[in-house]
Amino acid sequence: MEGTYKYSYKVGESLLTSLSVYNVGHQKCGPGYQWGPGIRNHYCIHHIISGIGYYSVNGETHRLSAGDTFILYPDTEVKYYADTEKPWEYAWVGFMGTDAATIIRSTDFTPEKPFIKNGGPPKRILRSQLSRIYEVKGNSHEASVAMTGALYTLLSTFMHYASQKGSTRDIQLTYVEKAKNYISTSYSYPITVEDVAAYVGISRSHLYRSFQTYQQQSPKEYLSNFRIKQACRLLKETNLSVSTVAYSVGFENNLYFSKAFKKLMGMSPSEYKGTPA
């Protein structure tokens, strides 16, 4: 239809695990143009530049207009469509990664209210930052880093203009998620609970209290159990020796590995390796 356009870019390969741009673009929609009902497997922020549209999620439909911003949460069924008289124009960025949930929780977006009305971050800044992500697009590692850097800048803007800061429990959950993400990417190294606490930026005792609240176990137990679960996979799926498996999941002492494994699994690593898959 005359007057409408769309330009977008989808990243061919996500190179960064903490945060990566999935796609980015800009679209001026025709009257009644609709996406969905459907789900995405990533987060996607849409900032409305002009016009009017409607966003349906969780059984409710919200009328949104220029200056408003809405977000799609992963694995959540949504539908959004342009007004028939004044169809909207928006810019968007889709992203994923281990840092995504923690960052979004620090903004005014929530699953119950997945939009921010005009009056949040200045629309001039949002448009500029979204344009920057598109400008540095590319499938090279350099481009991936540049896009992610621009995305972090955009998300930090939403964090800066958040009207309500998280409660103590929300902050504790953020600590736990950050610690778990670090463990999931670093467990094969001989990291300790002190290393995890240092990465999160809190004391070991504070990390302990947060884990007890949300995991009902200590950080040390979580780290050990995570390593044992990875060891189970290697014992079943590879021909690696028990000592090699122990070293591969962050245990530098084979005896300690065997004791920890038996405590959790009820049998030695060698016995587990010999059981039917």
Domain segments of the chain as ranges: 5-160, 168-274
Q: Which amino acid is at 251?
A: F
Mean pLDDT score, 55-68: 96
Mean pLDDT of the chain: 90
202-227 in b/e form (b: 16+ CB < 10 A) is beeeebbebbeeeeeebbeebbbebb
Q: What is the pLDDT of residue 5?
A: 62
The CATH superfamily of 5-160 is Regulatory protein AraC (2.60.120.280)
Q: Give residue 172's pLDDT band: very low, low, confident or very high (50, 70, 90).
A: confident
Q: What is the pLDDT of residue 167?
A: 53
CB 13 within 8 A of CB 23: no
Give the angle subtended at the CA of 154 by the CAs of 67 and 125, to the nearest 5°: 45
**Locus of tokens 């903004």:** 107
Mean pLDDT score, 142-163: 92
Q: Rounded to an integer, what distance in angstroms lies between the CA atom of residue 258 and that of residue 263?
A: 9
Three-state DSSP class for 119? Answer: coil
Mean pLDDT score, 6-23: 75
Q: What is the pLDDT of residue 97?
A: 86
Q: What is the pLDDT of residue 162?
A: 86
User: pTM here?
Assistant: 0.64
Q: Rounded to an integer, what distance in angstroms lies between the CA atom of residue 145 and that of residue 188?
A: 24
Lowest-confidence pick of 103-112, 145-154, 253-262: 103-112
CB 189 within 8 A of CB 251: no
Q: What does the H/E/C string look like for 192-240? A: CHHHHHHHHCCCHHHHHHHHHHHCCCCHHHHHHHHHHHHHHHHHHHCCC
109-124 in b/e form (b: 16+ CB < 10 A) is beeeebbbeeebbebe
Q: What is the pLDDT of residue 4?
A: 75
Pair of tokens at residue 221: 């137990």
What are the backbone angles phi and psi of residue 38, rounded to the nearest 5°? -175, 180
Mean pLDDT score, 218-244: 95
| More confident call, 30 vs 174 | 30
- Architecture category of domain 168-274 in CATH: Orthogonal Bundle (1.10)
Q: What is the pLDDT of residue 238?
A: 93
